[in-house]
Structure 1
Amino acid sequence: MKHVILGNGPAGVVAAETLRHAAPADEIVLVGAEDAPPYSRMAIPYLLEENIDESGTYLRKSPGHFEGLRIRELRGRAVSLDEAGRRVLFDDGHFEDYDRLLIATGSHPVRPPIPGVDLPEVHTCWTLEDARAIARFAQPGARVLQLGAGFIGCIIMEALEARGVELTVVEMGDRMVPRMMTPQAGGMIRKWVENKGIRVVTNAGVRRIDRRASNDAPLDVTLSTGEVVVADLVIVAAGVAPNVAFLESTGVHVAKGVLVDDRLETSVSGIFAAGDVAEAPDLFTGEHLVAAIQPNAVDQARVAALNMAGGDTRLKGVLAINVLATLGLISSSFGQWWGEDASKGGAGVEHVDEVAYRYLSLQFRDDVMIGATSIGLTEHVGVLRGLIQGKVPLGEWKDRLLHSPLQFVDAYIARSQQPVALVR
């Protein structure tokens, strides 16, 4: 049996290693599109902060790791798929056949159609090559404009602040991190960031980027508000999209990402998908969603690999998980953090402490917690995940939490821990 894995990020690497354990005699090919060993994109900010070198981003540190596991590494980008012939065409013109295929091609940064977005001083922050370019421009005192204050944008922000740049952040939403934070929480993060000396502009986008006539700085960035910001560097952090173009005209069903079932198998037998490219059933609603975070990628990779090896393992459902450090302020959101309509049994509560930068939102459907958002509550954040992922029936504790949400640890202990039988 020959397994081809497209993508050598966290999902691809974990899938290859899981396959080797589950299918010791099978052939495994791990394909990466970049000229670099498998690495973690989430480590790039640490590289920009100069806390690590490029080797510190590598997912596996030991030389010859994959060779020792008899996993063949291949450099190439898939350009088309022949599912009937069970082979993949790569950008260098060669084909690779397979018996089982895993699509773990991840995602790519979105570049909005802004005039001037292709200028050499405009970069995304997604690859090692991007990081090298940003490091050249983002010298102490450099004027940097960052488009986007979402999850990725906030991670990059910390690295830029550490490099001593003069930073302006522009966000089209009405708050920072709008896709993982409630309005109250997003506003609290903005206040924290601004107190650190970073300018934040919300409800605004970039209209155009022009090269300046003077030598003072290379770029004039015109915002949708009409304001013009002078910049030495523009970083585009406007979100990501799954890498699915090579699947056009195939039988693999694609919506936002590659649609998979609870075995991580696609609409074509023998083809699986995992990670940022996969659109899998949600834990609560059963509706398909792309959850582009590393914990989900790793869980999906293990399930897919075990099934590729002939097993019958099921994913219980995707849980949206976001844990973010923004200039030292820790925030998190889990599950259906935005809540549920009251007509469907929804209820919610907020705890706000602006002075201490502590915030908690709990969301319920009937007596089950389905979502949570927190800021500054780092010690027991795993309890929130446990209550939500475990779909723990709270009973009378739901009403207690609606009045005193900070008692969620007590609720977890009371409702999910089994009593110990005493032996006499």
Structure 2
Amino acid sequence: MIIGAGPAGVVAAETIRKLDKNATITIIGDEPEAPYSRMAIPYFLEENIEAEGTHLRKTNNHFADANINVIQQHVTRVDPVNNVVELQNGQTLPWDKLLIATGSHPIKPPIPGLDNPKVANCWTLADSRKIIDHVKKGSHVVQIGAGFIGCIILEALVRRGADLTVVEMDNRMVPRMLDEQCGGMLKSWCESKGVTVLTETQVTSIEDNGDGLKIQLSHGEALDADFVISATGVRSNTEFLEGSGIKMDQGILVDVHLESNLPGIYAAGDVAQGVDFTTGGYSVHAIQPTAADHGIICAKNMVQGNSTRHKGSLQMNVLSTLDLVSTSYGAWEGVAGGESSELIDSDRYRYIRLQFSGDKLIGANTLGITQNIGALRGLIQSESHLGVWKDRLMENPLNFMDAYVSITGNHA
């Protein structure tokens, strides 16, 4: 039984089928859509693809042909004592092994007026359809939040021709991914493309004046808008697990096999709080590649009895904002007693900052640099001793590809 029809759940179901031709596999998703990728929503918003283009699997009979049952229902309760899940329609379904891959939901900040019909999140296909209906060329749009999700939405709104103002409470864009220099340069880039970005500013209320919306800001001024989009972060979907006995913190706490404290119950994707490669602690990594990796590992362990260990997720983000790519890897903020090297080219919107602990590369931030960028991940994840390359990278951090090839012997 798999609760959640996103990438983690779908990959897990398909992997289980490869490993066990006779298993009964059920995916339960709570949206009235075929399983789809949220990462494809911006393309749908730009109307470059139809809704079907967001689907994780493109053929109509994909799941039926694989003998995977897909149910569109909301799970209200998990009962680990009797090994059943309860659905909103009153039905109960039994399971032998359970994977919880329910993803996350948008955080709703306490802003008066946020429930106005001219306000939307941008998290589901239903949200996207609402935005398409309301946001046309020349529409005045205020977006609350300039984090990772906000910057993805931002690009789609600009492509739609919106007159866009972004309001961010922190002092830079994408503050959980980019340092102050990098986030500030991204702000300048967006402003050069016609987007107004207000940092260190909060929306205090949203008022409907009939013709449109009046957005009150923390500094006292107000903005007029036709539509507002809230993009203030997400939180794991775990509410239905209250009272189940499954241990939770920011998400479901899982061990190296991605199994919860209750045997036979696993978690994957945005809802799993597992080992963090960077810190050694436990954290939620809400990115699609991690979700897919989790799905494969959970499937193997559900079928083969905890045969596969999860080595920990590397903190990693790659973001394209109006065609400018930014990245963060590992301990991008650095560690106490560590060293860093930095190159800034503000005119060309290029930036790189490397973080070191001893002679190991432990983190990186980049902007406008795409060639061989995966080598940074390789150096960090391999925990390679840099030797003479430490001083060379301190002098010129752009030598990271040469360092990677020299140390690992890998030219890929």
Give the TM-score, by structure 2 length.
Answer: 0.98
Structure 2 residue aligned with 1:138: 135
- List per-residue Cα deviations over 1:279-305 (Å, max 9, x = no partner): 010113220000000011111111011
Structure 1 residue aligned with 2:116: 119
Q: Are 1:76 and 2:73 counterparts?
A: yes
- 1:10-25 mapped onto 2 (5 Å cutoff): 10-25=7-22
Secondary structure at the residue paired with 2:280?
coil
Q: Are 1:268 and 2:297 counterparts?
A: no
Of residues 337, 341, 360, the one that matches 2:336 is: 341
Structure 1 residue aligned with 2:218: 224
Write the distance in 2 (CA, Å) between the matches of 1:66 and 1:126. 24
Secondary structure at the residue paired with 1:153?
helix
Write the distance in 2 (CA, Å) between the matches of 1:96 and 1:286. 37
- 1:34-113 mapped onto 2 (5 Å cutoff): 34-113=31-110
- List per-residue Cα deviations over 1:174-205 (Å, max 9, x = no partner): 10000000100000000000001110001111
Write the distance in 2 (CA, Å) between the matches of 1:85 and 1:286. 35
1:318 CA drift (Å): 0.7
1:250 CA drift (Å): 1.7
Structure 2 residue aligned with 1:360: 352
Secondary structure at the residue paired with 2:22?
coil
Structure 2 residue aligned with 1:204: 201
Secondary structure at the residue paired with 2:33?
coil
Write the distance in 2 (CA, Å) between the matches of 1:382 and 1:252. 36
| One-letter amino acid matched to 2:402 | D
Q: Are 1:313 and 2:308 counterparts?
A: yes
- 1:254-293 mapped onto 2 (5 Å cutoff): 254-293=248-287
Secondary structure at the residue paired with 1:272?
strand
1:254 CA drift (Å): 0.4
| One-letter amino acid matched to 1:399 | D
1:92 CA drift (Å): 1.1
Indicate the RMSD between aligned Cα atoms, in angstroms: 1.1
Give unpaired runs (5+ residues) of structure 2: none
Of residues 323, 328, 342, the one that matches 2:323 is: 328
**Which is worse superposed, 56-65 or 307-316?**
307-316
Q: Residues 165 and 295 (structure 1 numbering): CA distance in 2 closer, same or farther, change over 3 Å?
A: same
**Percent of counterpart pairs with the same letter?**
50
Equivalent residues, number: 410
Write the distance in 2 (CA, Å) between the matches of 1:237 and 1:284. 26
Write the distance in 2 (CA, Å) between the matches of 1:321 and 1:38. 25
Give the TM-score, by structure 1 length.
Answer: 0.95
Secondary structure at the residue paired with 1:322?
strand
Secondary structure at the residue paired with 1:309?
helix
Q: Are 1:387 and 2:379 counterparts?
A: yes
Structure 1 residue aligned with 2:185: 188
Of residues 289, 294, 297, the one that matches 2:288 is: 294
Of residues 391, 399, 417, the one that matches 2:391 is: 399
CA contact (8 A) 2:247 2:261 kept: yes
| One-letter amino acid matched to 2:332 | W
Q: Residues 163 and 418 (structure 1 numbering): CA distance in 2 closer, same or farther, change over 3 Å?
A: closer
CA contact (8 A) 2:404 2:410 kept: no
Secondary structure at the residue paired with 1:200?
strand
Write the distance in 1 (CA, Å) between the matches of 2:205 and 2:68. 46
| One-letter amino acid matched to 1:350 | E
Write the distance in 1 (CA, Å) between the matches of 2:12 and 2:375. 28
1:79 CA drift (Å): 1.1
Secondary structure at the residue paired with 2:365?
strand
Structure 2 residue aligned with 1:410: 402
Write the distance in 2 (CA, Å) between the matches of 1:83 and 1:95. 13
Write the distance in 1 (CA, Å) between the matches of 2:228 and 2:408. 48
Write the distance in 1 (CA, Å) between the matches of 2:165 and 2:219. 14
Write the distance in 1 (CA, Å) between the matches of 2:88 and 2:229. 28
| One-letter amino acid matched to 1:288 | Y
Write the distance in 2 (CA, Å) between the matches of 1:336 and 1:300. 21
Secondary structure at the residue paired with 2:220?
coil
Structure 1 residue aligned with 2:242: 248
| One-letter amino acid matched to 1:24 | K
Write the distance in 1 (CA, Å) between the matches of 2:235 and 2:250. 8
Write the distance in 2 (CA, Å) between the matches of 1:376 and 1:25. 49
Write the distance in 2 (CA, Å) between the matches of 1:284 and 1:206. 34
Secondary structure at the residue paired with 1:340?
coil
